[in-house]
Amino acid sequence: GYRYYHSLPPITKAYGTVCLAVTTVCSLKLLHPAYIALIYEDVFYRFQVWRLFTSFFFLGNFSINFGIRLLMIARYGVQLEQATFDRRTADFLWMMIFGGLTLLGLSAIPFLWNPFLGISLVFMLLYVWSREFPNAQINIYGLLNIKAFYLPWTMLALDVIFGSPILPDLLGIIAGHFYYFLTVLHPLSTGKTYLKTPRWVQKLVRRYKIGAPAPVNSRAAAQPEQQPGTGSAFRGRSYRLSD
């Protein structure tokens, strides 16, 4: 167990660990979830700025659903960071930050507001993974085999069947598609990349030696390469995302 945990990539490991810790504290009733929920009135009028961050770390009380979300981080988040974003820790961290900012913006719309955005961020990771590895075969509860491309929608459908809220799932899918469109689909069709990893994120990764910084060799970084399990329509992840 320790060896496996130690082998996990830094960003996914940190996020999953904090989610587990926050959920444990809340489940033991040492902290009420209301104190970390995203409530914009408290953020702007009571200056409880921490809510903008803490709302991403609560995945619900201990339950089967919580276990599934944590496993999604451990499988799909880890594979993204280790394969697609190999030696590009700054780019992966920026994807998480951009996803969080997108979700905060979406949740500011009254009918899209959600007090906890952790599940949405996990679903964003799942969506981006499904686009990077669209042809991977996934077995759902030993009953159904599907291509990874359809996994986010299948998980959303299962939430509908089991009565779980679908808004968090939908927000994650929207944020994931927005990111994927800006970093892969749009650059592939136009040759222009508008969403690049900011220098401050690269400096943060270098300063604290978190994983690996973004590649600096522009020619090597600009060469599109096919990831395992992807089809020709989904090449181009290695388009350079940073200056």
Please compute, for residue 53, the number of CA atoms within 13 A of its CA located in the half-sphere on the CB side: 5
pLDDT in tens, 187-202: 999 988 889 999 999 9
Q: Which residue has better confidence, 236 or 18?
A: 18
Res 210 pLDDT > 60: yes
Q: Does residue 240 surpass a pLDDT of 60?
A: no
- Flag whether pLDDT at 143 surpasses 90: no
Residue 230, pLDDT > 70, answer: no
- In the predicted model, what is the mean pLDDT of residues 234-241? 39
Lowest-confidence range among 27-36, 59-68, 87-96, 111-120?
Answer: 59-68
Residue 231 pLDDT level (bands cut at 50, 70, 90)? very low
Calculate mean pLDDT across residues 179-192: 93
Name the CA dihedral angle for 224, 226, 12, 44, rounded to a multiple of 10 degrees: 50
Mean pLDDT of 103-132: 97
Helix (H) / strand (E) element for 41: namely: helix 40-45
25-58 pLDDT, tens per residue?
999 999 999 999 999 999 999 999 999 999 999 9
pLDDT for res 29: 92
Task: Kindly report the pTM of this predicted structure.
Answer: 0.87
At which residue do the structure tokens 């969506």 appear? 127
Instruction: 20-29: list long-range contacts, CB under 8 Å, 24+ apart.
Output: 20/70, 21/57, 22/54, 22/57, 22/58, 23/57, 23/58, 23/59, 23/60, 23/61, 23/62, 23/66, 24/62, 26/58, 26/61, 27/61, 27/62
pLDDT tens digit string along 66-90? 999 999 999 999 999 999 999 999 9
- What average pLDDT does the segment 155-183 reach? 95
pLDDT at 217: 46
